[in-house]
A and B are shown apart, each in its own frame.
Chain A
Amino acid sequence: MQPPPVITVSAIRKTYGRTVAIDDISFDVNLGEIFGLIGPNGAGKTTTMECVEGLRVPDRGSISVLGLDPVREVYALQDRIGVQLQQAQLQKRIKVREAVNLWISLYRRPVDGNRLLDQLGLGEKRNAWFMTLSGGQKQRLFIALALINDPEVVFLDELTTGLDPQARRAIWELVRGIRARGKTVFLTTHLMEEAERLCDRVAIIDHGHIVDIGTPAELIRRHCPEQTVVVATDDASAEARFRLIPSVQSVSTHDGRVSIRGGDDELVTQVIRCVAEHRMNVTDFRTERSTLEDVFLKLTGHSIRD
């Protein structure tokens, strides 16, 4: 039997003045998964997350985190969760070691701060001022602070925004490491690639509403099942032969490359079988799957970068 969800959000709504930031948001986050809330900037990701963390009070709806009410039991909750906020800062001249020690003094069961800094590759920066750290180092410090109390749930808000690809990959590894230790991770991102590579399940949010929830593969299958197989061949009859495959929707040739589009999981097998059967001479073969980015475009009618 599956354990009860770690986070349950039911129909929450939050307005700022007359602007509705989020409305009717509901989702569950399960034990030990990386759950991503994905959507463009301003979609309501941070508002949602901050309601779950107890930093904001929703106007309506209910939230339960580890069985606690984030509004009424915020202090009990804060002892058991780890939080990394979007665009957070620390005092410019605070030393890495001092920040870690301050955090350690605040929690009942802190982990070994030095070991944590070593694990996050900040051991050498122990005595550096916060203002002298690079973007990636600052983010790693914030992850360290989020992990200092050995939390059961870790919240990460846009944690790789503004980082170069290398630093981003390093952070992804860290997040996978958090999951590997049995923690639950709830993150937000506007990077579809990040969501696809990192998250076990995602909720797509747009204009304050949840559009759909599922594993990245599920969402792609559900909304953009088409895939394309591109075959490079000099066989003149190739295009005609591919057209005879039952699940194929369209075939086109461009520069000796035949693109075969279809909406079936069997498409790739069928194309391979066709190639083998007719002993075609193939110099290249690749498949193009839809991505979460395509799903987002299809569901919302606009690109995530708009």
Chain B
Amino acid sequence: MLRGLWTLTWLEIKIFVREPLGVIGTLVIPVVFVALGRLFGRAARMESPGVRDLVTIDLPILASIFIALGAVLSLVTIVSIYRESGILKRLRATPLRPHTILTAHVLSKLAFTALTLAAMAVAGRRFIPDGMQGPFVAFGIALIISTVSIVSMGFLIASIVPTARFAQPIGTLILYPMVGLAGLFVPVEALPPALRAVSRFVPFTYVVSLLRGIWRGEGWIAHSGDLAALALVFLICTVVSARVFRWE
């Protein structure tokens, strides 16, 4: 039963907005980056195909992933702060179901991720090069699927970090190296065999493959493997964190 879900979600959104740093990190900084990009980016001409690919395909994906990661890290931090200060326990001693409390946090993070992306898209509208008329809706859906999967990893981390102080650094230490192996900076094929094997187990590999494919206009069927992998990640992380999650 989801009694209280919308009330709590809306409340968490409002509370987050009241946190000055949260707003700056979520909305202001990404927009500032776009503005900076507009200032300096005009100099970068898209003459070589390499640069063009980088700017039109990998840059939006990188930005999206980092925004999703930021949201997930803030989720990990919030959950551990809530646990440490007894907020989770207090909420649990009401008819609120545990999954309602957690779903509210995920929804509020998804809302902010969407808002940040929208803000960036609007701010950078005129900066988008001609060749970049990506399928925004499909990409948005792919990004939501990816984010939900990343969020489930975040929850697993939130379930096991001992204190709020460690939440952010541990989350960063686990998540960012994963992105490094995901084939965004260095193609998976170009990695040494050992790392290539590792990258197979990095959920971000499938996120990058899915987002890149959808952004290039490829179909969902072609990426059913990525979708299955992300669903599996979500399933495993949710089941494990449901078992090890501590409320206090």
Q: Which residues of chain A from 53 to 74 have a CB within 8 Å of any chain B CB?
A: 53, 55
Report whether B92 and A106 are in contact in the complex, using a CB–CB cutoff of 8 Å. no
Report A-chain residues with C-beta under 8 Å of the C-beta of B19.
Answer: 93
Binds B, one of A97-105, A163-171, A243-251: A97-105
Chain B min CB distance to A192 (Å) = 26
Q: Which residues of chain B from 1 to 17 have a CB within 8 Å of any chain A CB?
A: 3-4, 7-8, 11-12, 14-15
**Residue in contact with A89 in the complex, picked from B4, B7, B87, B92, CB distance below 8 Å:** B87
Report whether A78 and B95 are in contact in the complex, using a CB–CB cutoff of 8 Å. yes
Chain B contact-residue range equals 20 to 34
Task: Using known A-B contacts A91-B15, A98-B11, determine if residue A106 contacts B4 with beta carbons closer than 8 Å.
Answer: yes
Query: How does the 8 Å CB contact mask read for B1-38 relative to A, with 1 for contact and 0 for none?
Result: 00110011001101100110000000000000000000
Report B-chain residues with C-beta under 8 Å of the C-beta of A285.
Answer: none
**Cα–Cα distance between A279 and B15 once the two chains are bound (Å):** 75
B89 at the interface (CB under 8 A from A): yes
**Cα–Cα distance between A178 and B175 once the two chains are bound (Å):** 51
Please report whether the interface of chain B is mostly helix, strand, loop or mixed according to DSSP. helix
Question: In chain B, what residue has the closest Cβ to A99?
Answer: B11
Highest count of chain B CB atoms <10 Å: which of A55, A89, A103: A89
Report whether A105 and B4 are in contact in the complex, using a CB–CB cutoff of 8 Å. yes
B119 at the interface (CB under 8 A from A): no
Chain B min CB distance to A156 (Å) = 12
**Residue in contact with B95 in the complex, picked from A87, A94, A101, A107, CB distance below 8 Å:** A107
**Cα–Cα distance between A83 and B94 once the two chains are bound (Å):** 8
Report whether A91 and B87 are in contact in the complex, using a CB–CB cutoff of 8 Å. yes
Task: Using known A-B contacts A93-B15, A105-B3, A106-B3, determine if residue A85 contacts B94 with beta carbons closer than 8 Å.
Answer: no
**Residue in contact with B94 in the complex, picked from A92, A93, A103, CB distance below 8 Å:** A103
Report B-chain residues with C-beta under 8 Å of the C-beta of A111.
Answer: none
Report whether A105 and B94 are in contact in the complex, using a CB–CB cutoff of 8 Å. no
A79 at the interface (CB under 8 A from B): yes
**Cα–Cα distance between A55 and B86 once the two chains are bound (Å):** 13
Chain A contact-residue range equals 20 to 34
Chain B min CB distance to A141 (Å) = 11
**Cα–Cα distance between A101 and B4 once the two chains are bound (Å):** 10
Chain A min CB distance to B246 (Å) = 13
Report whether B8 and A87 are in contact in the complex, using a CB–CB cutoff of 8 Å. no
Report B-chain residues with C-beta under 8 Å of the C-beta of A83.
Answer: 93-94
Chain A min CB distance to B59 (Å) = 35
Report whether B15 and A106 are in contact in the complex, using a CB–CB cutoff of 8 Å. no
B90 at the interface (CB under 8 A from A): yes
Report B-chain residues with C-beta under 8 Å of the C-beta of A106.
Answer: 3-4, 94-96
Question: In chain A, what residue has the closest Cβ to B12?
Answer: A91
A16 at the interface (CB under 8 A from B): no
Q: Known contacts A75-B95, A85-B89; can you find 6 more A-B pairs with CB under 8 A?
A: A91-B15, A91-B82, A102-B4, A105-B3, A105-B7, A129-B18
Partner-B contacts on A (CB < 8 A): 53, 55, 75, 78-79, 83, 85, 87-94, 98, 101-103, 105-107, 129
Shortest beta-carbon contacts, A-B, top 5:
A93-B18, A89-B85, A88-B90, A105-B7, A83-B93
Partner-A contacts on B (CB < 8 A): 3-4, 7-8, 11-12, 14-15, 18-19, 82, 85-87, 89-90, 92-97
